[in-house]
């Protein structure tokens, strides 16, 4: 193990890790918002909206993430929509994660006891008040584990945007070991950085679950 080599290239890998974190964070926020909006469409009484979301989820889950990235970056320009590589990567990650967040949010929302909803209606709450004051707060805790799990997948899937030359952690790692031929050292270090990022998410999940459990008990 060539530790001097790792130390020499570590600043470049850490800088690339910041790009990975930025891409992942923006994609997580956008994917969550899109997923939440699609969840409301999925549980609405509008049949066309339900069908639209069902087809969207079917397409996202039924096609490889790599194909989705290529479609956004290489196919959209044929229709005059040209996106920078990093923007195309964020769009692809956001749309992909939204397809999974939909069912996570829907399952958590539909798991809220009907008695809680009826109690809100009984005191005169409007439907949107019931949703935002009762249903969504009560659905946070059951949604948290699968939500964090999918968010970890998002961070790992961010490595795929290296194929369109986004200079994130995996792209930088490939560039370094292509010139140094020290694959084990560079990829091993990159793997530890990915592990550290996802460990933070797992710790955040544990902390949030404890906090939510505390407030539930109180």
pTM of the model: 0.88
- Would you state the structure tokens that stand for residue 84, as one six-digit string? 């920078």
User: Rounded to whole angstroms, how far apart are CA atoms 76 and 89?
Assistant: 13
CA-wise closest residue to 140 among 96, 93, 107: 107
- b/e code 170-182 from CB counts within 10 Å (16+ = b): bbbbbbbbeeeeb
User: Rounded to whole angstroms, how far apart are CA atoms 149 and 108?
Assistant: 15
Q: Which fold does the domain 3-217 belong to in CATH?
A: MetI-like fold (1.10.3720)
Structural domain boundaries in the chain: 3-217
User: Rounded to whole angstroms, how far apart are CA atoms 206 and 213?
Assistant: 11
Q: What is the pLDDT along the chain (218 residues), one digit of tens a residue?
A: 667 878 788 999 999 999 999 999 999 999 999 999 999 999 888 999 999 999 999 999 999 999 999 999 999 999 889 999 999 999 999 999 999 999 999 988 888 887 877 787 788 787 778 877 788 788 888 888 999 999 999 999 999 999 998 989 999 999 888 888 888 889 999 999 999 999 999 998 888 887 777 545 44
User: Rounded to whole angstroms, how far apart are CA atoms 159 and 98?
Assistant: 18
């Amino acid at each position: 193990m060539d530790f001097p080599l790792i130390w020499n290239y570590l600043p470049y890998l850490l800088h690339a890790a910041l790009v990975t974190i930025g891409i992942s964070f923006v994609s997580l926020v956008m994917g969550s918002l899109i997923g939440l909006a699609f969840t409301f469409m999925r549980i609405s009484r509008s049949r066309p909206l339900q069908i639209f979301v069902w087809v969207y989820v079917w397409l996202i889950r039924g096609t490889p993430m790599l194909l989705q990235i290529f479609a956004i970056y290489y196919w959209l320009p044929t229709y005059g929509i040209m996106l920078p590589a990093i923007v195309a990567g964020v769009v692809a990650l956001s749309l992909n994660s939204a397809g999974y967040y939909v069912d996570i949010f829907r399952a958590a929302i539909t798991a809220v006891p009907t008695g809680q909803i009826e109690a809100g209606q009984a005191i005169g709450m409007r439907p949107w008040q019931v949703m935002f004051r009762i249903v969504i707060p009560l659905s946070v805790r059951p949604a948290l584990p699968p939500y964090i799990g999918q968010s970890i997948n998002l961070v790992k899937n961010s490595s795929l945007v290296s194929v369109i030359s986004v200079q994130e952690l995996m792209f930088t790692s490939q560039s370094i070991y292509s010139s140094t031929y020290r694959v084990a050292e560079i990829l091993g270090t990159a793997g530890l950085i990915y592990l550290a990022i996802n460990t933070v998410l797992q710790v955040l999940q544990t902390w949030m679950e404890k906090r939510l459990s505390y407030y539930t008990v109180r």
